[in-house]
Structures are given as C-alpha cells and as structure tokens.
C-alpha cells in the first residue's frame, strides 16, 4: 500500500509501520483518567489497518464500542536511528491528518487485565489517513488546528501546540527504540473529545488548512 500525495510530486512511498502515541495531550489524558506521562507512551498499529479518503471504517464483530481519535501524522522520509531533537526535522517527509480508530471496550477490558491492547487498535480500516503534505509546504507543524466533525458536529477541536511532547522529542524518543524507515508513520496522539462512532456516521478530519479526510462508518 502506498501513500497518496497532495501535490502529486511523490507517489512511490510504501506505507511502513505505524508508531502511535497514547496520552499525548493533557486534556485527553485527563478525560481517560490516565496519568500524564513523563516520556512518550508508544504502541504500534499495522500498515494493514490503513484506509484512505472516501473509504469505509468497518466495525469489527469483536467490538461493541469503537471511538474516533483525530491525530497529526508524521511521515518519515529517511532511515534514522538515535536521532537527536535538533536533527529530527531532517528525517521528516511530510504530514497528514489521521484517525486512530480504537475499539474502546476491548482496550478498557485488556487494560484492566494488564494485557497488551494491540487488538483494540489493529483491526483492518482502523487507520484512515489523508494525503501527505510535504514538509516544505508547512511553516509550523507544531501550531496547526486539528479538528474532527461527526455528522457535521464538531467533536474534537484543538491545536498541535497543545501536544505534551514536541515533534522533535517524539522522533528522538522513538528512534532510540527502533529504526525509523522511509514510509513509517507516527501518529502523534489525540486531543480531548474522543467519543463513540456508529454505523452510518460521517467523519471529517482537518489539519489546519493543509489537509482533510472524510470517511464513513460502515
């Protein structure tokens, strides 16, 4: 599966692993009654969960409650490992807006049991993404409005300036753990306002005025 680019300059980047942050905005951590972390909390989603603009989110049979989480996505452009904050931007290809769809009932149950909640995040169609905007076209990715409407109603409305960890800090941290490769995607975590979505709902996500995403729950 390949990325789609807004300006059609690049079209041959294969989607790699999805590295995601949990509890990345203070108010979301509070609404989930979670502790505010001292360093990024990360988990993975498979590339097979990715869908694009106009595609449909499928509610899995295993879940009775799926939630939306709108997030800034960072697309990695160059292979990197042990990158320091000051060099982080050199390894970014571009940005997109994404939804980290979550089976909240499964996640809550597994959290209680102390099990990994991989399943809750990994179903097919659980990572809708917009086209990629190359970084050259974005002045300040750390100051972009990020929002989500469900059936026309504003449900999430924040700004990337409220992220607990900066883009550079996130890349520095993740690259200490694992090699990041071209096409890898970092989902930087969701602001407050997450909620349940149901069959027939229309989701419209927006990142500043640079990219948007529209998907339907099937």
Measure the CA–CA gap between 216 and 166, rounded to whole angstroms.
31
| Phi–psi pair at 196, nearest 5 degrees | -75, 145
In the complex with Mg ion, the residue whose CB is nearer, 100 or 172, is: 100
158 lines the binding site for Mg ion (CB under 5 A): no
Among 49, 120, 190, 213, binds Mg ion (CB under 5 A): 190
In the complex, least distance from residue 80 CB atom to Mg ion, rounded to whole angstroms: 23
Q: What Å distances lie between residue 130 and 3, 5, 105, 117, 172, CA to CA? A: 9, 9, 26, 25, 25
| Phi–psi pair at 48, nearest 5 degrees | -70, -10
Measure the CA–CA gap between 16 and 1, rounded to whole angstroms.
9
In the complex with Mg ion, the residue whose CB is nearer, 5 or 40, is: 40
In the complex with Mg ion, the residue whose CB is nearer, 87 or 169, is: 169
In the complex, least distance from residue 70 CB atom to Mg ion, rounded to whole angstroms: 9
In the complex, least distance from residue 186 CB atom to Mg ion, rounded to whole angstroms: 11
Helix, strand, coil share (%) of the chain residues, nearest 5: 20, 35, 40
In the complex with Mg ion, the residue whose CB is nearer, 69 or 131, is: 69
Residues in contact with Mg ion, counted by CB under 5 A, come to a total of 3
- Report the residue number whose CB is nearest to Mg ion: 100
In the complex with Mg ion, the residue whose CB is nearer, 29 or 59, is: 29
> Binding mask 29-48 vs Mg ion (x if CB under 5 A, - otherwise)?
--------------------
* DSSP class per residue in 176-189: HHS-B-TT-EEE--
Among 17, 25, 40, 69, binds Mg ion (CB under 5 A): 69
Measure the CA–CA gap between 40 and 170, rounded to whole angstroms.
7
Measure the CA–CA gap between 57 and 52, rounded to whole angstroms.
10
Query: Under the rule (CB under 5 A), what is the footprint of Mg ion?
Result: 69, 100, 190
């Amino acid at each position: 599966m390949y990325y789609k680019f807004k300006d059609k300059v690049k079209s041959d980047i294969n989607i790699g692993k999805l590295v995601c942050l949990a509890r990345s905005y203070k108010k979301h951590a509070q609404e989930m009654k979670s502790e505010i972390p001292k360093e990024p909390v990360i988990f993975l989603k498979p590339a097979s969960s990715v869908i694009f603009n106009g595609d449909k989110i499928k509610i899995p049979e295993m879940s009775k409650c799926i939630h939306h989480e709108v997030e800034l996505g960072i697309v990695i452009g160059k292979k990197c490992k042990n990158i320091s904050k000051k060099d982080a931007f050199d390894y970014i290809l571009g940005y997109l807006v994404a939804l980290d769809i979550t089976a909240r009932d499964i996640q809550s149950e597994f959290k209680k049991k102390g099990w990994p909640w991989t399943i809750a995040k990994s179903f097919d169609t659980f990572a809708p993404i917009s086209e990629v905007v190359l970084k050259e076209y974005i002045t300040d990715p750390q100051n972009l409005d990020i929002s989500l409407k469900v059936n026309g109603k504003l449900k999430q409305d924040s700004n990337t300036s409220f992220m607990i960890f900066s883009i550079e800090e996130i890349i520095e941290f993740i690259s200490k753990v694992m090699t990041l490769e071209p096409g890898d995607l970092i989902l930087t975590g969701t602001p407050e306002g997450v909620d349940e979505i149901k069959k027939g709902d229309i989701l419209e996500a927006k990142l500043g005025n640079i990219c948007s995403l529209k998907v339907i729950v099937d």
